[in-house]
């Protein structure tokens, strides 16, 4: 095996083990930043030693053991630093032994609990959404700063600053390294789910750039969701989110042409949908429902996705049920975007005029003022009504608002088709 092969293996091990490693260390040192430093020290040691010695049989255990030794060294240095102005002797040795023993005893606790704590810390509401997202991808997803920056089309120094500030904020605020309980747990869980779905959505429909999708982000979010479902098996909304992501991810291969051009949902070749992901998603949705989670926002969205997944072709789609599910979602989490999606469903179930009537009530919403999908949806409904001049203007407006180049090209093509039909 070449050095390059070993480095690829190390990268794969790091992706798998880094979250558990940092989680275990963070519980001991009570500081996410220090825990990551210790984990990075172990990674550097692996990069230095494994090309010569070979990859250990249990690389995760090797990294943990190495990080543990680095942590013990740090504890000893800290004890010496704290007592450097006092008399040296038995007291220092005793302090060292107590601290080291505490470190060694604690490091072998339940890794699952550690991971869950780390998830809740990385998604703490004290941080901005952008900071939570970057820190979660770094600590739980194992992504490098460069990878996060490229995924979100943000400068690498900006992402690095967000991560540094986030760790400093958590440290300065003295955020306890524990899973919250009661009402606080429910509120924090909402933040965790929001971050994971935000990552997935950015991968599924890229906000900006030259690509319609960024599949790696979808995969990272799915992995985070599956980890969370294992750590919190009794939480229906966790399974609802996993169901939603599994079913949506099942369409990935059918969403673009070989040249990357987007293919809209109703035009996709459903034989290319991943049946394994659909089965996983439906199973997760069933689990959420058995846990009493039929009316949670993610379970409702998963139920909508399931309507598409169960339809063998576009004409079989149960649009009336989808419209009803969007109505329930609108009652639970009122939002102009939910109403816009409901308008699409109503247009499909009861005709474009009915959908357009609802869309027209949203044109004054400030939240949708620069949202390109509002004129895009309106343009689609106007096209179905044969009002091609108006539709063309809407598609052109949508194209001017989007920051995704693939989507802009699609919208301009639709505008040109309307011009040709007028």
Alpha helices, DSSP H, located in 30-181: 32-53, 59-82, 90-106, 111-122, 129-139, 145-151, 156-173
pLDDT for the residue 90: 40
Q: Are 19 and 107 in contact (CB under 8 A)?
A: no
Sequence-separated (6 or more) residues with CB below 8 Å from residue 185: 179
Tell me how far apart the alpha carbons of residues 203 and 217 are, in angstroms, rounded to a whole number. 5
What does the angle CA 301 – CA 196 – CA 284 come to, to the nearest 5 degrees?
50
Tell me how far apart the alpha carbons of residues 134 and 406 are, in angstroms, rounded to a whole number. 25
H or E segment to which residue 225 belongs = helix 215-231
H or E segment to which residue 214 belongs = none
Tell me how far apart the alpha carbons of residues 343 and 114 are, in angstroms, rounded to a whole number. 44
- What's the first-to-final CA gap in the chain, in angstroms? 64
Helix (H/G/I), strand (E/B), else coil: 209: strand
Walking along the chain (422 residues) 10 residues at a time, the average pLDDT comes out as 81 84 85 89 91 88 88 69 47 44 47 78 90 89 82 86 94 85 81 89 80 83 89 93 97 91 93 97 96 90 97 95 97 94 97 97 91 96 97 97 92 96 88
Long-range CB contact pairs, 197-202, < 8 A, 24+:
197/221, 197/241, 197/244, 197/245, 197/298, 198/129, 198/133, 199/133, 199/136, 199/137, 199/141, 199/224, 200/225, 200/245, 200/248, 200/249, 202/151, 202/152
Tell me how far apart the alpha carbons of residues 347 and 324 are, in angstroms, rounded to a whole number. 13
Sequence-separated (6 or more) residues with CB below 8 Å from residue 101: none
Tell me how far apart the alpha carbons of residues 41 and 117 are, in angstroms, rounded to a whole number. 22
Cα 187 off chain centre by: 18
| Residue-wise burial string across 20-31, b where 16 or more C-beta atoms lie within 10 A, e elsewhere | bbbbbbbbbbeb
Q: Are 10 and 50 in contact (CB under 8 A)?
A: yes
Sequence-separated (6 or more) residues with CB below 8 Å from residue 47: 7, 10
């Amino acid at each position: 095996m070449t050095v390059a092969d070993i480095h690829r293996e190390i990268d794969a091990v790091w992706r798998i083990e880094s979250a558990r490693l940092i989680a275990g260390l963070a519980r001991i040192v009570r500081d996410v930043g220090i825990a990551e430093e210790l984990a990075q020290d172990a990674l550097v040691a692996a990069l230095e030693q494994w090309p010569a010695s070979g990859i250990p049989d249990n690389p995760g255990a090797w990294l943990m053991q190495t990080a543990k030794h680095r942590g013990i060294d740090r504890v000893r240095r800290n004890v010496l630093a704290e007592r450097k102005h006092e008399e040296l002797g038995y007291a220092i040795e005793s302090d060292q032994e107590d601290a080291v023993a505490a470190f060694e005893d604690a490091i072998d606790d339940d890794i699952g609990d550690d991971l869950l704590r780390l998830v809740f810390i990385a998604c703490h509401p004290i941080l901005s959404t952008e900071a939570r997202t970057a820190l979660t991808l770094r600590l739980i997803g194992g992504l490098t700063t460069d990878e996060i920056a490229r995924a979100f089309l943000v400068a690498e120094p900006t992402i690095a600053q967000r991560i540094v500030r986030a760790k400093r904020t958590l440290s300065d605020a003295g955020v306890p390294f524990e899973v919250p309980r009661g009402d606080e747990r429910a509120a924090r869980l909402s933040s965790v789910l929001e971050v994971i779905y935000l990552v997935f959505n950015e991968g599924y429909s890229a906000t900006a750039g030259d690509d319609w999708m960024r599949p790696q982000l979808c995969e990272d979010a799915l992995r985070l969701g599956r980890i969370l479902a294992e750590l919190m098996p009794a939480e229906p909304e966790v399974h609802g989110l996993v169901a939603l992501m599994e079913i949506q991810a099942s369409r990935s291969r059918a969403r673009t042409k070989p040249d990357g051009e987007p293919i809209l949902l109703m035009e996709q070749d459903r034989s290319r949908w991943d049946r394994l992901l659909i089965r996983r998603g439906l199973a997760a949705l069933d689990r959420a429902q058995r846990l009493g989670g039929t009316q949670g926002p993610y379970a409702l969205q998963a139920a909508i996705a399931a309507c598409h997944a169960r339809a063998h072709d576009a004409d079989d789609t149960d649009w009336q049920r989808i419209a009803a599910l969007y109505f329930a979602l609108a009652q639970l989490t009122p939002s102009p975007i939910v109403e816009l999606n409901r308008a699409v469903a109503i247009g499909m179930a009861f005709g474009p005029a009915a959908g357009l009537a609802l869309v027209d009530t949203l044109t004054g919403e400030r939240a949708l003022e620069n949202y390109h999908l509002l004129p895009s949806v309106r343009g689609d409904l106007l096209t179905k009504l044969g009002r091609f001049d108006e539709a063309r203007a809407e598609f052109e407006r949508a194209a001017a608002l989007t920051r995704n180049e693939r989507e802009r090209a699609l919208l301009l093509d639709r505008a040109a088709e309307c011009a040709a039909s007028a």
